Amino acid sequence: IIAGYAQFPQSGINNTFGVVVDHNFVGRNDRTLSHEIGHCFGLLHTFQGGCSNNGTGGGDAIADTPPVSTSTFGCPTTQNSCNNIPTGDFYGTNVLDQIENYMSYNSCQNMFSAGQKVRMDATLNSTSTSTGLRQLSVASNLTFTGINDPYGPVVCAPIADFTYSNPMICVGSTVTYTDNSYNGVVTSQSWTLNGGTPATSTAINPTITYNTPGVYSTTYQPSNSAGSGSKTKTNIITISSLTASYSGTIIDGFENATQFTNDWIVVDHTGGQKFQRTTAVAATGSAAVEIRNFLTNSTTRLKDDLISPSYDLSNVTNPQLKFKVAHASKTSADNDRLFIWWSLDCGETWSLKLPLSGNSLRTTTNKTTMWVPTASEWAEKTVDLSTITNETNVRFKFSFESGSPSSGNNLYLDDINIDGITSVKDIYDNIGSFSVFPNPTSKTANISFNLTKEVKNLSITVRDLLGKEVTRVVNGQSFLPGKYTLSIDQNQQLNSGVYFVVFNADNNVITQKLIVK
């Protein structure tokens, strides 16, 4: 077994110089490493040359290490393997073998001799670039290895990272970015801030104003004398218009996949399951939103958000937010939670309005397999909006937290309605249904509606974001009961942008957003 080996400085200081020791021979009671370091510093074995060792060039060339005939093991305290007294012997008399010396093979090693110390010091102080070790302790090498006295750390390039104050704000508001880099001291920085003013910055923690609605990315590049890092975070800042996306009573059953993608913001905080549209089940219609919590496998709470588009409530009397929810636990110990929040400043700050957990969230009995609700397993919840009746830019957030230490089954949401109404038919007794499709559209769009009673004065207008009438589809005409489909923009007069289709049937008004690509 080879416990270790080392290279002598006399053989040349090169890339192989050093010590190799088997990890099994490194410990409090093992001296292999001390022995091999002695070789690195120029020492030979005490038994080198046998009994001819006299300190004048023979044996280990150290005068105060008595001659030893051969290597021995164990700890023979009375051993005297050489009875002769060589010429020029350091002691001048016959002495015992120096079994305590680190350069022997004995098991009771605990010392270097004074002569060995002189030899090691000479090697360490030698300025020879081929056989000396003085070069290891020069200032340049100490600085390079980070052990200079006083301590001088090696300069490393920073690894980029950053945080930001708000992921959602209104047009004209600001976001403050903060350097969070590590691995090296940052001496200069460069920011690229898409959509921001300014669009670039060299400040360490810049504050940026955003004046245009959209979703924007940011890149940060910190640097120092050793190099630079780079970090891009994609689609992290959502800037909302001061004009709400929808006005009046709202009915959203997630029936339109494109509209769901464009209108609703899905935030997955922890990288697990997240809110998504599904056509596998619905409270009404053919679509809903789900989070497959049954698949969550975590002992800590995982958080996911579903954020609504913005609503103008100023024209709604006694507004309410109503929605349908379906949720099941796996066991009675599960404690999933759903929180409903609202924001009056484009999502910059939120106010909690309805916490649901336990029996207030569960809508059925425990389910131990992947669960999809039946028609009877939905429940309707209501949030009173009377305190924000006059607000013109309101968003809602459905925040789901999986249980800890165990999570429950799936969660489903459907029929998100403003004014506490579950369907068009429930709102007005003369309107059975109303929809705009395709939406978004790159060509013409259609209006489909079902009248359950005669309407004596029906008008359908299209308005821009400023409320200005752009085109009129129906102008105060009477319609008998029945189903109708009309073209909104047969002559393609609408430019790309966002519009509102206002449907007025005998003063019963419904508004729906239309996006033209």
Cβ–Cβ under 8 Å, residues 171 and 186? no
Same domain, 484 and 506: yes
Higher pLDDT pick, 52 / 305: 305
Same domain, 337 and 468: no
Residues 380-429: pLDDT tens digits? 999 999 899 889 899 999 999 998 887 899 999 999 988 744 345 555 66
Whether the predicted pLDDT of 498 surpasses 90: no
Higher pLDDT pick, 124 / 325: 325
Residues 279 and 128: their CA atoms lie apart, in Å, by: 80
Q: Residue 512 — very low, low, confident or very high, per pLDDT cuts 50/70/90?
A: confident
Q: Of 214, 240, 266, at which residue does a domain stop?
A: 240
Q: Of 387, 422, 457, at which residue does a domain stop?
A: 422
Whether the predicted pLDDT of 57 surpasses 70: no
Same domain, 436 and 392: no
Q: Residue 9 — very low, low, confident or very high, per pLDDT cuts 50/70/90?
A: confident
Whether the predicted pLDDT of 164 surpasses 90: yes
For residues 115-145, one letter each, b for 16 or more C-beta atoms within 10 angstroms of the residue's C-beta and e for the rest, the string is bbeebbeebeebeeeeebbeeeeeeeeeeee
Residue 58 maps to a domain: no
pLDDT value, residue 146: 72
Whether the predicted pLDDT of 56 surpasses 60: no
Whether the predicted pLDDT of 41 surpasses 80: yes
Percent pLDDT > 90 in the chain is 44
Same domain, 176 and 193: yes
Backbone angles phi, psi at 302, to 5 degrees: -110, 135
Higher pLDDT pick, 248 / 156: 156
Residue 300 maps to a domain: yes
Same domain, 204 and 322: no
Same domain, 265 and 382: yes
Task: Indicate which CATH number applies to the domain containing 339.
Answer: 2.60.120.200
Same domain, 453 and 495: yes
Residue 80 maps to a domain: no
Q: Tokens representing 152? A: 């001088």
Average predicted confidence (pLDDT) for the chain: 87
Higher pLDDT pick, 229 / 248: 229
Q: Over range 495-506, report the average pLDDT.
A: 88
Which has the minimum average pLDDT: 5-9, 84-88, 354-358, 496-500? 84-88
14 CB neighbour count, 10 Å cutoff: 8
Q: Which residue has the tokens 């200069």?
A: 188
Whether the predicted pLDDT of 85 surpasses 80: no
Residues 425-465: pLDDT tens digits? 555 667 766 778 777 887 778 887 777 788 999 999 998 87
Same domain, 224 and 255: no
**Number of domain units in the chain:** 3
Q: Residue 279 — very low, low, confident or very high, per pLDDT cuts 50/70/90?
A: very high
The structure's pTM equals: 0.57
Query: What residue numbers bound the domain in which 346 lies?
Result: 246-422
Residue 177 maps to a domain: yes
- The closest alpha carbon to 339, from 401, 284, 247, belongs to 401
Same domain, 225 and 209: yes
Decide: residue 304, CB within 10 A, 0-12 exposed, 13-18 middle, 19+ buried. Answer: buried
pLDDT value, residue 486: 85
Reduced to 3 states (helix: H, G, I; strand: E, B; else coil), residue 38 is helix
Whether the predicted pLDDT of 494 surpasses 90: no
Same domain, 351 and 447: no
Whether the predicted pLDDT of 289 surpasses 90: yes
Residue 51 maps to a domain: no
Q: Of 240, 256, 275, at which residue does a domain stop?
A: 240
Same domain, 279 and 332: yes
Task: Indicate which CATH number applies to the domain containing 460.
Answer: 2.60.40.1930
Residues 96-146: pLDDT tens digits? 889 999 999 988 889 999 989 999 999 888 877 777 788 777 777 777 777
Q: Residue 170 — very low, low, confident or very high, per pLDDT cuts 50/70/90?
A: very high
Residue 121 maps to a domain: no
Same domain, 203 and 285: no
